[in-house]
Structure 1
Amino acid sequence: MIRECRLLAAASLIVAMVGPASGEPISFDGSWKEQGFLRLWSNQYSFQGQHLEVTSDDTVSLIWRAVEPSLGEASKARWGWKVRNGVVATDLTQKGGDDRNLAIYFIFVDAETANGLTKKSARRLLRNPNTRALVYVWGGQHSPDSFLPSPYHPRLVTRVLRASGSGEYHEDVDLEADFRTAFGEEKNTLVGIGISADSDDTDGLIQASIKNLELVTSE
């Protein structure tokens, strides 16, 4: 019994010393490209290394970057985000009127086609029939942890992390588990990340930020 207790204590010490799996930082730099929606209106983005400032004043757009192949098997993601001013709660399942403060897109394709895809355009990538997208959202009128089908894309599913409102939070998401819940299959290869703010339908103003975005490939 004493020996077992010592082994458990030693194991606990090792876990405490090692700590959680380290993440790979995703820098907010010149590798991100802005893409508009429909009327091609533009948000304002300020890239500050590990920090991104976003202003959306009756506008909508998305910034996008490809993910390095070494991060294609990332199983988790984490980040901090803050909303100082946000839009009103909307129905995210309805096309038009579905504004939200912030959304982070994780784009996946099957391993066989990952290398042959053109990753410079998020719109072109989403048109590929093998593409799946998980979108983590702060906004809307839905309960946190709701999984919602996109009204715009048949292979895009939204998970609501925060309902509409302001504040500051840290998020830690399990890409594998959420992909399984959203699509009923095992996670494919991660090839890109997108971030958007959407205020055009409600004539709103969003002032928000994201910091310390990381991908974790193993625990």
Structure 2
Amino acid sequence: MSVRVPFPAVLLAAALLAGCAGPRTDSAAVASPMQQTARSGIAALRLSQTPAQAGEHPSGWQPWIIRPDKTRTRYQVQRVPIDGQARAVLHAHAASAASGMWVPLKLRPADQPYVRWSWRADALVDGADGARPETEDAPARLVLAFDGDWSKLPLRDKMLAETARMLLGREIPYATLIYTWDARQPVGTSLVNAHSSRVRLKVVESGPARLAQWLQYERNYVQDYIEAFGEAPGTLVGIGVLTDSDNTRGHAESWYGDIQLLTPNRTALGELPGNRAID
């Protein structure tokens, strides 16, 4: 029995999967200096230690293009005061735009199953709502991309992935987990992307209550992945950030601080004073 997927839906899903794409899995990509740097101590994720100058892209990060025809979000290093010290962060500004920045990795999630990160947003995206495909914009998102066993997926997912490969000429992630700041959906809400079930979102911040302040989060992303996809994650192949406002045709702005991957032999979630732990 054949499975027919409408062509516009294929293009939309392919574009979406492209946006969440991780590194290629061929030997040339695995051997690239950028990936070796990223895997060695995950140094590129420590934005506060980047050697990049203000106005530049952070060292070790790559542009992440959602679709070639979309306006790109502008990302650049800035130095801002945090706790009385000037620190390097990644500033994002989207004007009817959608693109991200990401770092390629090759990591077993069991080795470092916790992710800790910080961000700041001073305003929500007017009219945004992550539960509606026509308004699914957000000022701040943290994106984790994973490899996995494609043979286990339904035919429709395989077809979409193959279409994306043909259009892009590169591999795409098996699954993508996104932590998001949503304008309307409550904290703890789990969302499935409208175009692909291989992309799941977890709301970790909601509404305007904590705007205009630096916020720090910590998640057991292995546990979140299992809850979202019903299986243990494969190799973690990339981490990125995404600030977008293309669907609402509005504006979004945020700042991203260090991203850290932590080992299992550490204190449980919520150890940091004043921070929110969400299970």
Question: Which TM bucket (shorter chain)?
Answer: 0.7 to 0.9
Give deviations 1:68-125, integer Å, cap 9, x for gaps: 4477842010011100233135332332221111111111113899xxxxxxxx9944
Question: Normalization by structure 1: what TM-score?
Answer: 0.74
SS in 2 for 1:77: strand
Paired with 2:236 and 2:175, the residues of 1 have a C-alpha distance of 9
Which residue of 178, 183, 187 corresponds with 1:144?
A: 187
Q: More strand by proportion, 1 or 2?
A: 1
Aligned counterpart, 1:155: 198
Paired with 1:187 and 1:107, the residues of 2 have a C-alpha distance of 10
Give, in angstroms, the shift of residue 200 of structure 1.
Answer: 2.0
* Counterpart contact for 1:101–1:197, Cα < 8 Å: yes
Give, in angstroms, the shift of residue 208 of structure 1.
Answer: 1.1
Which residue of 105, 116, 125 corresponds with 1:87?
A: 125
Task: Between 61-70 and 76-85, report the one with greater CA deviation.
Answer: 61-70
Paired with 1:158 and 1:216, the residues of 2 have a C-alpha distance of 21
The residue correspondences of 1:200-211 to structure 2 (distance < 5 A) are 200-211=246-257
Specify the code of the residue in structure 1 equivalent to 2:228. Answer: A
Aligned counterpart, 2:140: 102
Aligned counterpart, 2:46: 27
Give, in angstroms, the shift of residue 199 of structure 1.
Answer: 1.1
Give, in angstroms, the shift of residue 167 of structure 1.
Answer: 3.4
Q: Is the alpha carbon distance of 1:50 and 1:184 closer, same or farther for their aligned partners in structure 2, counting shifts above 3 Å? A: farther
Task: Between 183-192 and 34-43, report the one with greater CA deviation.
Answer: 34-43
The residue correspondences of 1:1-219 to structure 2 (distance < 5 A) are 26-28=45-47, 29-38=58-67, 39-47=69-77, 51-69=89-107, 73-88=111-126, 90-110=128-148, 124-126=170-172, 131-165=174-208, 166-168=211-213, 169-219=215-265
Paired with 2:205 and 2:108, the residues of 1 have a C-alpha distance of 30
Q: Is the alpha carbon distance of 1:187 and 1:50 closer, same or farther for their aligned partners in structure 2, counting shifts above 3 Å? A: farther
Percent identity between matched residues is 21
Specify the code of the residue in structure 2 equivalent to 1:37. Answer: I
Specify the code of the residue in structure 2 equivalent to 1:33. Answer: Q
Q: Is the alpha carbon distance of 1:160 and 1:70 closer, same or farther for their aligned partners in structure 2, counting shifts above 3 Å? A: closer
SS in 2 for 1:42: coil
Any stretches of 5+ residues in structure 2 without a counterpart?
A: 1-40, 48-57, 79-86, 152-167, 266-279
Give, in angstroms, the shift of residue 138 of structure 1.
Answer: 0.8
Aligned counterpart, 2:38: none
Specify the code of the residue in structure 1 equivalent to 2:92. Answer: V
**Aligned alpha-carbon RMSD (Å):** 2.8
Specify the code of the residue in structure 2 equivalent to 1:27. Answer: R
Give, in angstroms, the shift of residue 24 of structure 1.
Answer: 5.3
Q: Is the alpha carbon distance of 1:112 and 1:100 closer, same or farther for their aligned partners in structure 2, counting shifts above 3 Å? A: closer
Question: Normalization by structure 2: what TM-score?
Answer: 0.59
**How many residues end up aligned between the 2 structures?**
186
Which protein shows a greater Rg?
Answer: 1
Aligned counterpart, 1:14: none
